[in-house]
Amino acid sequence: MDEAIKEAIKAAKKDEVPIGAVVVVDGKIISRGRNCREKSKNAIKHAEIVAIEKACKKLKSWRLENAEIYVTLEPCPMCAGAIANARIKKLVYACPEKTSNDGLCEKILKSTRLNHKVEIEEEPNELASTLLKDFFKKKRR
Amino acid sequence: MDEAIKEAIKAAKKDEVPIGAVVVVDGKIISRGRNCREKSKNAIKHAEIVAIEKACKKLKSWRLENAEIYVTLEPCPMCAGAIANARIKKLVYACPEKTSNDGLCEKILKSTRLNHKVEIEEEPNELASTLLKDFFKKKRR
C-alpha cells in the first residue's frame, strides 16, 4: 500500500485527485498507476485502469488471475468493473469511498454474474486519507 | 444504432465478441469503438471504452456532457461506470444483458452518488442480437 500511496502523492503534485494503485503478482509489483484524468483529458484514466492496462501489457494477457490490486481509495463502479473483468483475485483498498454510498464496489465484485468473486480487504491508512482530505480542502479554497 | 452494429460486425470478423458502440453529439457521430479485448490482450478494451476514449481525445475533454452513446449490448459495470464518469447524457442499447442479471448497469447509471443521472433507452435490434447468438453458438461448437 505504501507504493500505491507514492503514486497518489505523484498525482497530487500534478494537481490530480491523489489516488494511486499497484498490481502485485507473487508478492512483486508488476505495474503502477495514478489518476491522471485532468492531464490526459480522458474520463477513463483512473489509477486502477492505468495500472490494470500496464499489467495486461506486461503479462500479455487480459486475464490477471493471480494478481492483487492495492488502491488508496475504494474503487468507483468503472474501476470495480475493470477489476472484475480482468479476473483480479483480490482488491485491497485504504480509504472507503464515503460519497459513493451505494455499496456499488462490493456489489460489482461479489456479483452473481461473475464466475469468480474478487476478495476485498480494507486496510485503513492515515496518509492515504490525509492526502485526499488536503487535496479537496485546497480545492475548495 | 446501425453504425454501432457495423462496428460489432467488424469485431466478429476479428473473432472478438461482437459488440460495437458509437458516441453521438448533436446528431453527429464523433467516435466509434468495437470490442477488441482478445487482440489487444487488454481487459479494458470493450467497445464503449474505446469509443469514449476517442471521444475524449476528439473533444479534448473528459466531460462528454452533451453526448449520447449507442451500444449493441447493455453495458457491463465497467462500461456503465465509464459512461457515468464521462458525464454522458444518454445511453441507448440494443440487447439487454441477460447473464448480468443483477441490474447493475441501471443501478450504476441511476446511482444517487452521481450529480447527474444518465438517461437509459432500450432500442431492441434483431441483428445486434443475432450477431451475439451466432458468435457464441460457433464458439461452443
Q: Which pLDDT tens digit goes with each residue over B96-105?
A: 987 765 789 9
Question: Of A94-103, B5-14, B47-56, which gets the smallest average pLDDT?
Answer: A94-103
Query: Considering only residues 29 to 58 of chain B, which have any Cβ-Cβ distance to chain A shorter than 8 Å?
Result: 37-38, 40-46, 49, 52-53, 56-57
The rounded percent of chain A whose pLDDT value lies above 70 is 96
Between A112 and B21, where is the model more confident? B21
| A48 a catalytic residue | yes
Give the separation between CA A78 and CA B81, rounded to whole angstroms. 4
- Give the dihedral of Cα atoms B128, B130, B134, B140; nearest 10 deg: 90
The chain A residue lying nearest B98, using CA atoms, is A113
What mean pLDDT, rounded, does chain A reach? 93
Of the pLDDT bands very low, low, confident and very high (cuts 50, 70, 90), residue A103 is: confident
Give the separation between CA A35 and CA A24, rounded to whole angstroms. 18
Does the structure show a pLDDT above 90 at A132? yes
Instruction: Mark yes or no for CB contact A107/B111 under 8 Å.
Output: no
Minimum-distance CB partner of B108 among A49, A104, A112? A104
A84: which 3 cell numbers? 472484475
Q: Pick from B138, B140, B115, B12: which is nearest to B73 by CA? A: B12
> Which position among A7, A16, A48, A53 bears the catalytic label?
A48
Minimum-distance CB partner of A85 among B40, B43, B113? B43
Instruction: Mark yes or no for CB contact A62/B86 under 8 Å.
Output: no
The rounded percent of chain B whose pLDDT value lies above 70 is 96
pLDDT the model gives residue B112: 67
Of the pLDDT bands very low, low, confident and very high (cuts 50, 70, 90), residue A140 is: confident
List CB contacts (< 8 A) between A108 and chain B.
Answer: 77, 104
Each residue's pLDDT tens digit, A42-65: 999 999 999 999 999 999 999 999
Give the separation between CA A83 and CA B77, rounded to whole angstroms. 10
Q: Judge contact between B73 and B94, C-beta under 8 A.
A: yes
